[in-house]
């Protein structure tokens, strides 16, 4: 199994981090990001193509990269079908939901905020907040866990060190301009993902002997799962996964945040294209799982490595170090895109649904959203609110990162516990 030297691994992380910070800073020179509206919803002026790539990139998180390959390796064609199809449906639900909620609350930030206003119940609002915060905690934990495992496996950088480096990079560029930083980097990261998939996957297939080598693994490593609608896979994995993904998407502030940030007339287009662009990635990567399932190729994992890393093992079995470095950049792009989205989503929940505002402050916030003229006293209140809002957003980002780091660290020391379980 080929790998990257530890020094090259550190350089890759450093260059990647600096590049993302520079890109974010370049696009954050405008001043509106210093307001609550700018920091949390990018001024509600996100173009459809930026929204679409951001939606796709944010949904391409660790499961799309690693679990998609794992299920194609273990459960063949029905495994990847039941993984990809519900993921696409989960995003397409927002074609209907996002415009409706946006119309009812044009100046909103979160769905729990809408629930509180609609039902006028603090108790229900608090209950709603639990899964929304928990989902972001898991999003952060999963990316750090998967990223730490990936970097450690391929470079020898210690697992904890890798997670610390990832946390520092994402916090730095997310602090600069909030959601706008996430959307801008998502666009670059999605391009890197597409380039990586377009180069690495065909190269690996050709190196393994061509497209014919995939067919032998279409039934999974056991060879028993060639029927795409296999009832065993459907009932043991597929239906449960579909329920979790679809309900999870509704509880995911990352996509509600984008629903309030994208220009309202472009919401449907953004989510349609976002869902389609997402689907391409796990389907393409599943070929690595089918290759690994072809027992004649002799692909195996090092002892003690989680089976979700089987795609990494397949690539490193055939390709040189340079190609592996490209694959690492591609995978890091996907992990970072969801990691920064999780930080921003948690910050919007905290600032909107946890921080308390006086009636006068609420009135100023509403007038600001509606572009009404403020008197001198209201302008002072607005300045204070914006400063406090951005500051609280950054504290929330730091807090969710620390908690996610702790969960990922704990998960690493649970025997038999892997990415799929997390």
**Alpha helices per DSSP H over 307-358:** 310-318, 321-349
Reported as a pLDDT band with limits 50, 70 and 90, residue 31 is low
Whether pLDDT at 415 is above 80? no
What pLDDT is attached to residue 244? 87
Q: Helical H runs in 93-226?
A: 94-104, 111-119, 122-155, 159-177, 179-208, 212-215
Interval 173-232: pLDDT, tens? 999 989 999 999 999 999 999 999 999 999 999 999 998 999 999 999 988 888 888 998
Phi (first) and psi of residue 120, to 5 degrees: 55, 45
Q: Between the CA atoms of 151, 152, 155 and 158, what dihedral angle is there, to the nearest 10 degrees? A: 120
Q: How far apart are CA 237 and CA 368, in angstroms?
A: 48
7: exposed, middle or buried (C-beta count within 10 Å: 0-12, 13-18, 19+)? exposed
Region 322-331 average pLDDT: 86
Model pTM above 0.75: yes
> What value does the mean pLDDT of the chain take?
90
- Reference 196, options 129, 281, 266, 277; nearest CA is 281
Please give the pLDDT value at position 2: 62
Structure-block tokens of residue 203: 């190269």
Q: Is the pLDDT of residue 267 over 90?
A: yes
Angle between helices 48-59 and 179-208 (to 10 degrees): 60
Dihedral sign from CA coordinates of 57, 310, 171, 125:
positive
Q: How confident is the model at residue 366 (pLDDT cuts 50, 70, 90)?
A: confident
Answer with the residue of higher pLDDT: 167 or 328: 167
DSSP tag of 210: S
Q: Is the pLDDT of residue 37 over 70?
A: yes
CATH number of 6-412: 1.20.1730.10
Share of the chain above pLDDT 70, in %: 97
CB atoms within 10 A of CB 219: 19
**Average pLDDT score over residue span 297-314:** 84
Q: What is the spatial distance between Cα 111 and Cα 125, in angstroms, rounded to a whole number?
A: 10
66: left (phi over 0), alpha (psi -120 to 50) or beta: alpha
Exposed/middle/buried for residue 225 (C-beta within 10 Å: 0-12, 13-18, 19+): buried
Residue 32 has pLDDT above 80, yes or no: no
pLDDT score recorded for residue 1: 60
Q: Give CA separation, 60 vs 108, 184, 227, 286, 331, in Å.
A: 26, 16, 26, 14, 10
Three-state DSSP state, 224: coil
Cα 285 → chain centroid: 17
pLDDT band at 327 (very low <50, low <70, confident <90, very high): confident
Q: In terms of pLDDT, which residue wins out, 228 or 306?
A: 228
422 compared with 314, residue with greater pLDDT: 314
Would the pLDDT of 403 be above 60? yes
φ, ψ for residue 3, nearest 5 deg: -150, 170
Reduced to 3 states (helix: H, G, I; strand: E, B; else coil), residue 262 is strand
Does residue 125 carry a pLDDT above 80?
Answer: yes
Q: Are the C-beta atoms of residues 128 and 115 closer than 8 Å to each other?
A: yes
Please give the average per-residue pLDDT across 57-67, as a whole number.
85
120-159 burial code (b ≥16 CB/10 A, e <16): eeeeebeebbeebbebbbbbbbbbbbbbbbbbbbbbebeb
Percent of the chain exceeding pLDDT 90 equals 63
Predicted local confidence at residue 96, as pLDDT: 96
Q: Per residue in 161-172, pLDDT tens? A: 999 999 999 999
**Beta partners for 262?**
46
More confident residue, 58 or 412: 58
Name the more confident of 62 and 315.
Answer: 315
Residue 351 has pLDDT above 80, yes or no: yes
DSSP-derived 3-state class of residue 161: helix
Using CA atoms in the order 104, 105, 106, 107, what is the torsion angle rounded to 10 degrees?
Answer: 170
**pLDDT score of 353:** 95
Of 349 and 237, the structure prediction assigns the larger pLDDT to 349
CB 54 within 8 A of CB 258: yes
Q: Residue 219: its pLDDT value, please?
A: 93
In the prediction, which pLDDT does 306 show? 77
Q: Are 169 and 147 in contact (CB under 8 A)?
A: no
pLDDT of residue 155: 87
Cβ atoms < 10 Å from Cβ of 209: 15
Mean pLDDT over 239-249 rounds to 88
Domain ranges of the chain: 6-412
What interhelical angle do 94-104 and 68-92 show, nearest 10?
40
Q: Is the pLDDT of residue 33 over 80?
A: no
């Amino acid at each position: 199994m080929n790998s990257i030297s530890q020094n090259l691994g550190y350089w890759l992380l450093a260059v990647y981090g600096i590049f993302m910070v520079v890109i974010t800073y370049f696009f954050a020179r405008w001043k509106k990001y210093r307001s609550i509206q700018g920091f949390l919803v990018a001024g509600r002026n996100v173009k459809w193509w930026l929204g679409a790539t951001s939606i796709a990139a944010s949904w391409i998180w660790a499961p799309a990269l690693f679990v998609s390959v794992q299920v194609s390796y273990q459960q063949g064609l029905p495994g990847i079908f039941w993984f990809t199809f519900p993921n696409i449906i989960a995003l397409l639900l927002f074609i209907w939901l996002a415009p409706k909620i946006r119309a009812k609350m044009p100046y909103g930030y979160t769905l729990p905020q809408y629930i509180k206003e609609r039902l006028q119940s603090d108790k229900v609002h608090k209950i709603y907040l639990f899964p929304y915060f928990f989902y972001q905690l898991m999003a952060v934990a999963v990316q750090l866990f998967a990223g730490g495992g990936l970097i450690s496996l391929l470079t020898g950088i210690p697992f904890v060190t890798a997670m610390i480096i990832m946390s520092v990079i994402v916090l730095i560029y997310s602090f600069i301009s909030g959601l706008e930083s996430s959307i801008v980097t998502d666009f670059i990261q999605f391009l890197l993902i597409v380039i990586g998939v377009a180069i690495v996957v065909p190269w690996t297939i050709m190196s393994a002997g061509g497209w014919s080598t995939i067919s032998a693994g279409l039934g999974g490593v056991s060879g028993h799962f060639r029927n795409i609608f296999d009832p065993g896979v459907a009932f043991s994995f597929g239906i449960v996964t579909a329920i979790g993904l679809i309900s999870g998407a509704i509880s995911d502030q990352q996509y509600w945040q984008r629903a309030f940030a994208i220009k309202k007339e472009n919401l449907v287009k953004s989510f349609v294209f976002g869902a389609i662009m997402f689907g391409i990635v796990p389907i393409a990567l599943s070929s690595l799982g089918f290759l690994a399932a072809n027992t004649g190729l002799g692909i195996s994992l090092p002892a003690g490595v989680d089976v979700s890393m089987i795609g990494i093992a397949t690539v490193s079995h055939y390709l040189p170090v340079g190609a592996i470095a490209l694959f690492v950049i591609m995978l890091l792009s996907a992990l970072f895109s969801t990691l920064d989205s999780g930080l921003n989503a948690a910050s919007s929940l905290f600032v909107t649904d946890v921080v308390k505002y006086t009636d006068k402050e609420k009135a100023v916030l509403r007038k600001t959203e509606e572009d009404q003229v403020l008197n001198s006293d209201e302008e002072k209140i607005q300045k204070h609110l914006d400063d406090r809002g951005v500051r609280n957003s950054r504290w929330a980002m730091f807090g969710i990162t620390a908690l996610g780091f702790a969960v990922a660290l704990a998960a690493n020391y649970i025997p038999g516990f892997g990415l799929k379980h997390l």
